[in-house]
Amino acid sequence: MKRLRLAHLPTPIVHDARLSTVLGVDLWIKRDDATGGAEAGNKVRKLEYLLADALVRGAKHVVTCGGLQSNHARATAILACRLGLDCTLLLRVDGPASGPEHEADIRSLPTTGNVLLDRLVGARIRTITPDQYADRDETMASVADEIGSAYVIPEGGSNGLGALGYVEAMREVREQGDAFDVVVHACGSGGTAAGIALGCAAHGAAERVLAIAVCDDAAYFERTIARIVSEALSLAKLPSPAPLVVDDRSKGPRYGVMSDEQRAFLRRCAREAGVLLDPVYTGKAMFGLRAAVERGDVPRGARVLFVHTGGLPGLLAQGDVLT
Ligand SMILES: *Cc1c(COP(=O)(O)O)cnc(C)c1O
């Protein structure tokens, strides 16, 4: 499979003595928040495959979608720009939207976080409603048609091809040292989970995977991850995935919003360990890991690899609720 070298690899695996004490496990952090500069995060590993495919197919323009402050949309916009590709983002908003047919009024868009970065690299932004987002694949296909020869990247870069980025990440983990009991990470569109489960089995990086859902529910993700796994298996020769559990008990009030308890824990990780987590993904995943240890789902003392998947611009866009 063709792959561009876009990520700064290997990302470090760092032992965190302070959070190990807080959580009661032997905690190691895979620093995939450091896969790059402004584009950093887990999406870069997927985009190495997806953007390679776009170039092979002769695309001049890529289309993708996400929430308004989507990390995936931002990573795609920055890397597309660097490769000389035009980029159109369909971003979900709660209020009035331009619709998939029109560019959004620039004055209606935030000047912070991911959207600031999208704007700086000149991405074309169209805002869509939650209903339009529910039909995102169709909506993106019709926008791509309208543009002509545009390459569509699914939500979160999560298809079989994108997931190969995390199969390779687990090879990297195994090459960096001993295997882990469990890999824990935030799950938002399922591609990271699918790749990690396949990669753990293929490369012996860990026995099992705990995916902490930040939206939707466990049944939705089990279906979605199974679909992505089967797509990946049709692209690459891989063994069946390692056991994976989706835990949807730490989603908080809703996507992008933390409970007071979750916010307090995010602050505690920052103050006590200097570990900066974001409110949309990694903060909920670390909170979910702590809850899983307290319930006994992850045994005390287990050798745990927490994948820090990035999200710093999302944190910086929520300064009003985090201070
Ligand atoms: C997208 C994202 C995730 C979730 O990864 P999926 O492959 O979409 O499930 C986790 N953390 C951060 C910071 C992300 O941007």
Q: What is the pLDDT of residues 292-310, one digit of tens each?
A: 999 999 999 999 999 999 9
For ligand 1, whether the C-beta of 165 sits within 6 Å is: no
| Residue nearest atom 2 of ligand 1, based on CA coordinates | 188
**How confident is residue 7, by pLDDT bands cut at 50, 70 and 90?**
very high
Residue 243: predicted pLDDT: 98
Q: What distance in Å separates the CA atoms of residue 83 and residue 69, rounded to the nearest whole number? A: 22
Q: State residue 149's pLDDT score.
A: 85
Cα 98 to middle of ligand 1, angstroms = 26
Residues 6, 37 contacting (CB under 8 angstroms): no
**What's domain 43-157's architecture?**
3-Layer(aba) Sandwich (3.40)
pLDDT in tens, 250-286: 999 999 999 999 999 999 999 999 999 999 999 999 9
Token pair 């602050």 is found at 267
Fold matches, 13-37+159-322 and 43-157: yes
CATH architecture of the domain 13-37+159-322 equals: 3-Layer(aba) Sandwich (3.40)
In the chain, what is the greatest distance between 2 CA atoms, to the nearest angstrom?
A: 55
pLDDT reading at 35 higher than 90: yes
Q: Is 30 helix (H, G, I), strand (E, B) or coil?
A: strand
Res 1: pLDDT: 84
- In short, whether 74's Cβ falls inside 6 Å of ligand 1 is no
Task: Clarify whether 70 is annotated catalytic.
Answer: yes
Ligand 1 center to 158 CA (angstroms): 9
Query: Residues 261, 267: contact at Cβ < 8 Å?
Result: no
Residue with tokens 């302070």: 18
Domain positions in the chain are 13-37+159-322, 43-157
Check pLDDT > 90 for residue 97. Answer: yes
Best of 29, 32, 33, 42 for a ligand 1 pocket test (most atoms within 8 Å of beta carbon): 42
Q: Which ligand 1 atom is nearest residue 156's CA?
A: 8
Is the confidence at residue 138, as pLDDT, over 90? yes
Q: Is 159 in the pocket of ligand 1 (CB under 6 A)?
A: no
User: In the structure, what pLDDT confidence band is assigned to residue 150 with cuts at 50, 70 and 90?
Assistant: very high
**Confidence class of residue 323 from pLDDT cuts 50, 70 and 90?**
confident
Q: How far is the CA of 296 from the centre of ligand 1 (A)?
A: 25
Closest CA to 225 of 248, 204, 205, 203: 248
